Amino acid sequence: MNSASLAHVRYVLAENPVTLGAFLLFSFFVFVALFGAWLAPYDPLATNTAVALKAPSAAHWFGTDALGRDILSRILVATRLDFGIAISAVALSFVIGIALGLAAGYFGGWWDRIVVRLADTIMAFPLFVLAMGIVAALGNTVANIVYATAIINLPFYIRVARAEANVRRDAGFIEAARLAGNGEWRILSHHIFPNILPPVMVQVSLNMGWAILNAAGLSFIGLGVRPPTPEWGIMVAEGATYIVSGEWWVALFPGLTLMLAVFCFNLLGDGLRDIIDPRRRT
């Protein structure tokens, strides 16, 4: 990244304190995802019934669960898994969805009809129910959770890319690129794709939050990551049964972490759009 790009990023972040806060929170989550295993004060899988369901204290900042496992340690370690699932799923749906949407919007014809029917077929189902069906059919492994989450996110990228490509395929700068001798695929990759990134990046940010919620939701109903693996959705599900009896911390802290992660990605969208949009670089 050159000095002009860095200056533009600094300007966007300084202009909007909310965006700056979202980027700082995102940086914190990335740091925890990378180093959470070393930051955890206890082994997240180690059980100790002598301290089961202990309230937050100096020894256990977020308390312990029914098996005496330290909740803070489990939250820290679970961050890598939840972020890994979300990033993998969104990256997969981004690559496939943008490629299909660009080709459909730019070339049109039978290819456009096939891609649109694919997106409509996926959108015909309630998306979380479709993810449940895919995971139930294939098995509740991390890979299958990623595939299911990527599939239900495909229509969003297909529709955005198709609409943007359809609008820009006859624009003046595209005609100039054709007259300059650029082939169709080069026009798609070097001229249309960079110009559709601003709205797409907003969708990426939203989808990251949805992907984390989807993975947590699948784990909450027993179709996601299997216990005893630390995962936010599992921890909320395990703690839900203890809220009535007064052990509120078992579900509260994993739930707050999940809420903060989704909130962070929802706020990131506008900032990413402003950073990537070439029109904001003037």
* pLDDT (tens digit per residue) in 186-197: 888 788 888 888
Give CA–CA dist 19/37, Å, rounded.
Answer: 28
pLDDT tens digits for 132-188?
999 999 888 899 999 999 999 999 999 999 988 888 877 777 778 777 877 778 888
Torsion 122-124-128-132 (CA) sign: negative
pLDDT at 219 over 70: yes
Q: Please, are residues 195 and 258 in contact by the beta-carbon 8 Å criterion?
A: no
Q: What domains does the chain contain, in order, with CATH numbers? A: 3-43+68-281 (1.10.3720.10)
Which two tokens mark 154?
A: 């495909």
| Predicted TM-score of the model (pTM) | 0.86
CB 162 within 8 A of CB 101: yes
